[in-house]
Amino acid sequence: MIEKIKELLSSDLELNIDSERDEKLIQYINYKAEIHLNRKNGGIEDSIVIGWARHFYLETQENIDKEIKLVVEEKEVIKKEIKKPIEKEKKEEQKEFTLFDFEC
């Protein structure tokens, strides 16, 4: 995947394509794909992925890291919000006893 992206972007003289950033590029594309697909499975056109890669190489690494960090923090908040109702339901289930529960 990375090699195809680099090949398609090689004609763009504006870009500074750095092999050391390949792992970060993969993370960035995965992050963008997850948002694009609303966290569902699906396909994405090559032109869109190439656009993300071009943006990745044009932006500073600091800006890319900030963008990814914001999404990671957002995911953590969502996970916490999902856990809270589940934990409350479990506690409520544990508190409900009937007289039949205490029979010997």
* pLDDT tens digit sequence for 24-43: 888 888 888 888 888 788 88
Distances (CA, A) of 14 to 17, 55, 78: 9, 11, 38
> What distance in Å separates the CA atoms of residue 27 and residue 25, rounded to the nearest whole number?
5
Rounded to two decimals, the pTM is: 0.58
> Which residue did the predictor score with more confidence, 93 or 21?
21
Give the domain ranges of the chain. Answer: 2-95
Q: What is the mean pLDDT of the chain?
A: 75
Give me the long-range contacts of 34-42 (CB less than 8 A, separation at least 24).
35/71
Question: 38-71, pLDDT tens digit by residue?
Answer: 878 888 888 898 888 888 888 888 888 887 777 6
